[in-house]
Amino acid sequence: RRTYFHSKDSKSARLYGNKSFVDERHRHRYEVNPAMVPRFESSGLTFTGKDETGQRMEIIELPNHPFYVGAQFHPEYKSRPGKPSPLFLGLIGAASGELDTVLLQSYQETVVPRSLPNGKLERVYWKGAAKKPVSVVYSLCDRVYS
């Protein structure tokens, strides 16, 4: 299901590379009652991601918190050891004190060829520019899963 970002300066929108929307698998078990949205927002929560109708809340944030982000979809379905979901990457970045570094990087996917011992080329996907693909969080992932 497509989730549209309603706030470009939110942590979740910035983690997804300031795209206007993302396609993730919707979690059908629980929903936010649309009648309660104004009450939640008056208490400080922000619904930064909604479906195309604006009635289904998909992403919620607490702006004054270091990393209070909740998603109604399944970010774990597209997450891989060497390519974590942007929301998981943000959580790891916030826990390690590197969230600002993660948010500053461009998260456009770039394919970088890497030579293998048999002479063939392997496609490696990096986030950000190919000249400096490694951030603190990505280098941590590389050390753990390489």
How many domains does the chain fold into? 1
Give residue 114's pLDDT: 67
Alpha-carbon span 5 to 47, nearest angstrom: 9
- Asked whether residue 122 is assigned to any structural domain, the reply reads no
- Asked whether residue 38 is assigned to any structural domain, the reply reads yes
**Residue 53: CATH number of its domain:** 3.40.50.880
Alpha-carbon span 128 to 95, nearest angstrom: 21
Residues contacting 30, CB < 8 A, separation 6+: 72
What is the domain extent for residue 38?
2-112
Given the structure tokens 């936010």, which residue do they identify? Answer: 32
- Asked whether residue 11 is assigned to any structural domain, the reply reads yes
β-sheet bridge partners, residue 2: 23
Encoding tokens for residue 89? 């990457």
- Asked whether residue 73 is assigned to any structural domain, the reply reads yes
- Asked whether residue 47 is assigned to any structural domain, the reply reads yes
- 80-116 pLDDT, tens digit each: 887 888 888 888 889 999 888 888 774 445 555 667 7
- Asked whether residue 69 is assigned to any structural domain, the reply reads yes
Beta strand spans in the chain (E) = 2-5, 21-23, 46-50, 57-61, 69-71, 109-115, 121-127
- Asked whether residue 134 is assigned to any structural domain, the reply reads no
The structure's pTM equals 0.68
- Asked whether residue 71 is assigned to any structural domain, the reply reads yes
Helices (H), 43-135: 86-95, 99-104
